[in-house]
């Protein structure tokens, strides 16, 4: 029998199930297995034997329950990773699964009850194969300095990337979303989370936006012979909508390329639209009058999404990727319900619905089954430069190259 270099603690108040778990872990080959019937007893075990690699943890028990135990060991650094094993309802377990990473520990998975040896083995091997995931993900985000960002803008290091949106039924490209990536000469490609807050704080949003707009319109012109009209979506921040000259400037840029407003979509997150001024509302109306589409982005994660749909002239909903993550081999019913309800809402309001964050084939298939028709995600294509996108479009023109 292969010996796994793992020290595992079983926290389970039901004696028979505790015995089953301990024997199963030994059968799998764990080097050392300890057990306890409640949180206090488990802490005493850890004080005696030292830290363990993994805690196989029930949640509900007399005395100190599993949640309080996890709080205690997280602060003390006594457990590296956690496998949950509970018979509580799925919605409670789902919330508990979100808690573990917030406490600074790796969640290997939810084994449920009764334990299955194959599922438990897979989770243990996951820990052995990916021991450094938590350390990498828990590093604090360091924002770029203002001088660095200004220099990057001056030296044209901020490059526009494009991520395709597809018709999920036919596989053809219906548009692309324009995104900015910082191609740092030493640091490589830097994600927006590092530099976008700095760009906003130092008043460079409009400069970046109009660079994106010109790059996108140039892409449209080059793509005409490949896919015909290609709608380009741009992200707008609410502070930009407060500029009374925004729409007239966009109109002038479009005129220079000889392209209609209907070729553009503007995506706005509803979280930034809590207070809409007269200028903001007028700009939204004028963009629609030009034929532009307006999309409410990250739909479903704010507190007033439905209110914004009623108040503002949106004609597209982009459902946040969080709900797609709930789809998989064991789909979450609540996520399915949210997606179905959003599709029904979009249909009732005459709005298209775009699903973000599609990364797995099984998610794609389930979205088709739910009636989704538009989406984007890494399953189809990652964001890419203009030249890479044009080359990608050329490959899709070959028969059999769609989804």
The CATH number given to whatever domain includes residue 124 is 3.40.50.2300
Enter the pTM of the model. 0.70
Asked if 63 and 164 sit in the same domain, the reply is no
Domain count, the chain: 2
**Residue 353, CA distances (Å) to 326, 329, 341 in order:** 18, 24, 11
Residue 144 has what DSSP assignment?
P
Q: Is the pLDDT of residue 119 over 50?
A: yes
Domain-embedded: residue 310: yes
For residues 386 and 307, give the distance between their C-alpha atoms in angstroms, rounded to a whole number: 36
Token digits of residue 165: 């949106």
Residue 125 has what DSSP assignment?
H
Asked if 124 and 51 sit in the same domain, the reply is yes
Domain-embedded: residue 255: yes
Q: Show which of 107, 137, 167 is a domain's final residue.
A: 137
Give residue 400's pLDDT.
47
Asked if 178 and 204 sit in the same domain, the reply is yes
**Lowest mean pLDDT, pick from 7-21, 130-144, 283-297:** 130-144
Asked if 287 and 179 sit in the same domain, the reply is yes
Mean pLDDT of 305-323: 84
Q: Which of 155, 159, 199 is nearest to 179 (CA)?
A: 159
The rounded mean pLDDT for the chain is 87
Asked if 289 and 155 sit in the same domain, the reply is yes
Q: Is the pLDDT of residue 76 over 90?
A: no
Q: In CATH, what number is assigned to the domain containing residue 315?
A: 3.20.20.450
| Catalytic residue numbers, as ranges | 356
Q: Show which of 137, 166, 188 is a domain's final residue.
A: 137
Asked if 274 and 221 sit in the same domain, the reply is yes
- The boundaries of the domain holding residue 127 are 4-137
For residues 318 and 376, give the distance between their C-alpha atoms in angstroms, rounded to a whole number: 10
pLDDT tens digits, residue range 236-245?
Answer: 988 898 899 9
Q: Which of 374, 91, 39, 85 is nearest to 233 (CA)?
A: 374
Of the pLDDT bands very low, low, confident and very high (cuts 50, 70, 90), residue 303 is low
Give residue 328's pLDDT.
72
Domain-embedded: residue 198: yes
Domain-embedded: residue 44: yes
Asked if 175 and 267 sit in the same domain, the reply is yes
Domain-embedded: residue 403: no
Mean pLDDT of 277-293: 90
Q: Show which of 137, 161, 182 is a domain's final residue.
A: 137
Asked if 132 and 177 sit in the same domain, the reply is no
Q: Is the pLDDT of residue 94 over 90?
A: no
Distance of CA 233 to the CA centre of its chain: 18
Domain-embedded: residue 402: no
Asked if 130 and 167 sit in the same domain, the reply is no
């Amino acid at each position: 029998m292969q010996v796994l270099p793992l020290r595992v603690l079983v926290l389970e108040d039901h004696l028979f199930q505790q015995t089953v778990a301990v024997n199963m872990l030994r059968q799998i080959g764990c080097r050392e297995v300890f057990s306890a019937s409640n949180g206090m007893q488990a802490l005493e075990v850890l004080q005696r034997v030292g830290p363990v690699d993994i805690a196989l943890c029930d949640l509900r028990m007399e005395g100190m329950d599993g949640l309080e135990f996890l709080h205690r060991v997280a602060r003390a650094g006594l457990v590296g990773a956690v496998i949950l094993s509970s018979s509580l309802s799925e919605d409670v377990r789902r919330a508990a699964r979100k808690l573990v990473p917030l406490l600074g520990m790796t969640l290997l998975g939810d084994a449920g009850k009764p334990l299955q040896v194959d599922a438990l083995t897979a989770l243990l091997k996951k820990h052995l194969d990916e021991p450094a995931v938590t350390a990498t993900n828990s590093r604090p985000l360091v924002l770029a300095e203002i001088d660095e960002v200004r220099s990057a803008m001056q030296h044209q290091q901020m490059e526009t990337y494009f991520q395709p949106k597809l018709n999920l039924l036919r596989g053809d490209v219906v548009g692309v979303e324009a995104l900015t990536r910082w191609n740092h000469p030493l640091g490589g490609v830097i994600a927006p989370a590092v530099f976008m807050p700095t760009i906003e704080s130092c008043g460079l949003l409009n400069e970046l936006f109009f660079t994106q707009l010109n790059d996108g319109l140039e892409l449209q012109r080059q793509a005409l012979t490949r896919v015909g009209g290609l709608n380009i979506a741009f992200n707008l921040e609410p502070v930009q909508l407060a500029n009374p000259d925004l729409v007239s400037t966009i109109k002038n840029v479009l005129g220079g390329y000889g392209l209609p407003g209907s070729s553009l979509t503007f995506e706005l997150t509803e979280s930034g639209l809590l207070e809409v001024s007269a200028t903001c509302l007028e700009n939204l109306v004028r963009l629609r009058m030009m034929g532009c589409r307006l999309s409410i982005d990250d739909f479903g994660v704010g507190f007033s999404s439905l209110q914004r749909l009623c108040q503002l002239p949106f004609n597209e909903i982009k459902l946040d990727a969080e709900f797609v993550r709930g789809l998989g081999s064991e789909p979450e019913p609540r996520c399915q319900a949210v997606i179905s309800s959003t599709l029904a809402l979009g249909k009732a309001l005459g709005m298209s619905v775009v699903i973000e964050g599609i990364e797995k084939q099984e998610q794609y298939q389930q979205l088709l089954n739910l009636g989704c028709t538009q989406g984007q995600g890494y399953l189809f294509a990652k964001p890419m430069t203009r030249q890479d996108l044009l080359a990608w479009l050329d490959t899709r023109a070959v028969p059999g190259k769609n989804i």
